[in-house]
Amino acid sequence: MDKRIKKSKRAIEEALISLMAENDFKDITIHSIAEKADVNRGTIYLHYEDKFDLLEQCIEGKIQKLLNFCLPEGSGSQPSKSSLLRIFHYLEEHSFIFHTLLTNKGVPTFRKKIVTVMKAGMKEQLELNGVNQHINKEILIQFLPSATISVIEWWIIESMP
Amino acid sequence: MDKRIKKSKRAIEEALISLMAENDFKDITIHSIAEKADVNRGTIYLHYEDKFDLLEQCIEGKIQKLLNFCLPEGSGSQPSKSSLLRIFHYLEEHSFIFHTLLTNKGVPTFRKKIVTVMKAGMKEQLELNGVNQHINKEILIQFLPSATISVIEWWIIESMP
DNA sequence: TCTAATCTGTTCATTATTAAACAAAAGCGG
DNA sequence: CCGCTTTTGTTTAATAATGAACAGATTAGA
């Protein structure tokens, strides 16, 4: 992708997150984002529909990056032992971003997105490894992600041990 | 000035300094600067003749910024008491840059430039305030800047108290 | 010394970003 | 409620940056 696009999007999304750390999402204007990102206001509309689409893409990107980093294809869906650990390391490394996305008022989207992704991931895991066959898979899939995300949420918000 | 130009030049000059902190100037290539700055190589030639011109402009810019910040026009060439203090604060704030520019092998330019600027500045000062009239001005002007810069040099290189 | 690799300047067409302007929509204080 | 300011989208022409290519210079190693 063109260097300029990468830089612009990075600046814009970083600005969004930094603003979200201090204001409710609803109070953030495209104007202020452009200012913070040191980018022409028009540039934002070049890549995003509006601020909701921006938040959407931003969240999507963060989740993708987390997954790509923590579940590298090479090892072919590793067992959860080491990958879970990697996830926690990654979250620690980028705690500011995830803390902001999780705690900002008026943005439940992020939590939902993660739960959805985890459901899919776990389903795949369970079908691959025939473990826990004596437990109802469906129930596990419904239950585990929410539980896990709650733990993660707690861990991040309490600024992790 | 166009936002894009500001950003490009800032990235390029920052890259240069960061590279100069770890390599002799002569070993630094335009290639590596472009890489570090995350900028197309051609962009550098859009604003600078070559790496020597880049260093030149970079140094010039740093000196100008220091002067503008420490000798604001409003107060009309203040006496040296507070402005000297401001200079030291500014140097402390930007110590990495000045340390790098002063210590990099093969770049005596920076020291010379500063001495030149100080000579001019002091001359003006002396002509304005009729102080020290009983001392030969010319000798002062020859002597003071070199002495001062030596102190500053020592102060910065020994990572200031 | 010869070769391969890297670096330098420069050119080109394409694309992204900019500044400036605009009308319309919100938001706000009196 | 009514002005006033800010924000939103969108458009325009102008300009800066990009990636790619190129020949020539320099460097490094065999």
Q: Calculate the alpha carbon distances from B22 to B17, B18, B43 in Å.
A: 9, 7, 23
Question: Which residues constitute the domain of residue A33?
Answer: 3-157
First-residue to last-residue Cα distance in chain A: 38
Collect all residues with Cβ–Cβ distance below 8 Å to A3 and sequence separation of at least 6: B38, B39, B40
Residue B47, classified by CB atoms within 10 Å of its CB into exposed (0-12), middle (13-18) or buried (19+), is middle
- Is the minimum distance from the CB of B23 to strand C below 7 Å? no
Position B6 scores a pLDDT of 98
- pLDDT: is B43 or A122 the higher one? B43
Position B80 scores a pLDDT of 56
Distance CA B36, CA A122 (A): 40
Contact B66, B156 (CB under 8 A): no
CATH number for the domain spanning B80: value is 1.10.357.10
Chain B hits for A39, CB-CB cut-off 8 Å, are: 3
Position A19 scores a pLDDT of 98
Structure tokens at B89: 């604060």
Chain B hits for A3, CB-CB cut-off 8 Å, are: 38-40
Among residues 9-48 of chain B, which lie with CB inside 8 Å of chain A? 38-40
Task: Kindly report which amino acid residue has its CA closest to the C1' atom of nucleotide D26.
Answer: B29
Q: Which residues of B24-40 are buried (b: 16+ CB within 10 A; e: fewer)?
A: ebeebebeebbebbebe
Place of tokens 């509006």: A50
Judge whether residue A155 has pLDDT over 80: yes
- Is the minimum distance from the CB of B64 to strand C below 7 Å? no
Position A79 scores a pLDDT of 53
Distance CA B96, CA B19 (A): 12
- Is the minimum distance from the CB of A102 to strand D below 7 Å? no
How many domains in chain A? 1
- Is the minimum distance from the CB of A4 to strand C below 7 Å? yes
Position B21 scores a pLDDT of 96
Rounded mean pLDDT, A112-141: 72
Q: Calculate the alpha carbon distances from A136 to A56, A86, A131, A133, B42 in Å.
A: 34, 27, 11, 7, 61
Per-residue pLDDT of chain B (161 residues; tens, 9 = 90+): 999 999 999 999 999 999 999 999 999 999 999 999 999 999 999 999 999 999 999 999 999 998 888 776 655 555 556 677 788 888 889 989 999 998 898 787 788 888 787 777 777 776 766 555 566 767 877 787 778 778 887 888 777 66
Residue A6, nucleotide of least CA–C1' distance: C16
Question: What is the identity of the amino acid at A50?
Answer: D
Q: Calculate the alpha carbon distances from A32 to A17, A55, A106, B145 in Å.
A: 12, 14, 18, 45
pLDDT tens column, A63-114: 999 888 877 665 555 555 667 778 888 988 999 999 999 889 878 778 888 8
Distance CA B150, CA B111 (A): 9
Collect all residues with Cβ–Cβ distance below 8 Å to A51 and sequence separation of at least 6: A16, A25, A28, A29, A30, A33
Q: Which positions of chain C lie under 7 Å from any protein Cβ?
A: 6-12, 15-21
Which pTM does this prediction carry? 0.87
Structure tokens at A40: 């022409």
CA proximity to A4, closest of A66, A51, A47, A68: A47
Position B115 scores a pLDDT of 79
CB contact under 8 A, A40 and B3: yes
Position A152 scores a pLDDT of 81
User: What region, left, alpha or beta, does residue A88 occupy, with left being phi > 0 and alpha being psi -120 to 50 degrees?
Assistant: alpha
